[in-house]
Amino acid sequence: MSMKYTKDHEWVSVDGDVATVGISDYAQQQLGDVVFVEVPEVGADLGQGDELAVVESVKAASEVYAPITGEIVDVNADLEGEPSLVNEDAFGKGWFAKIKISDSAQLEELMDEDAYKSFIEGL
């Protein structure tokens, strides 16, 4: 499964026409212990760059942005009761939402893993 990344530290993993979105391991480390996650509503239509979720940690509250345009088809309800999943398994059980992709060309604008690693090394 290939992942793409944004400069805001969201990751995207694509399966057919559905993209799963979360935040990177780097992002969860920067945030510290996540204490609350607000996920979007299923059925919401989001444009690329729109607010997808809000993550609150012991340090700060941060917005998570939609890396691509599409409709929310599923959300990770487990995060409501267990926000720490974002810290424990950022690329697995800590996912936020699944988006039905409306413009797959937008995926080409995102970074691959090597590009993202270089990007965070430069921060």
Question: What CATH number is associated with residue 30?
Answer: 2.40.50.100
Q: Which helix (H) or strand (E) holds 78?
A: helix 78-81
- Whole-model pTM above 0.75? yes
Per-residue pLDDT band at 82 (split at 50, 70, 90): very high
Query: Domain of 71?
Result: 3-102
* Separation CA 39–CA 88 (nearest Å): 18
Whether residue 42 lies inside any domain: the answer is yes
Say if residue 1's pLDDT is above 70.
no
Of 15, 3, 14, nearest to 117 by C-alpha is 3
Q: Hey, is 22 helix, strand or coil?
A: strand
* Separation CA 65–CA 49 (nearest Å): 5
Whether residue 121 lies inside any domain: the answer is no
Q: Could you give the number of structural domains in the chain?
A: 1
Whether residue 120 lies inside any domain: the answer is no
User: Which residues have a Cβ under 8 Å from the Cβ of 40 and sit 6 or more positions away?
Assistant: 46, 52, 53, 72, 75, 96, 97
Whether residue 43 lies inside any domain: the answer is yes
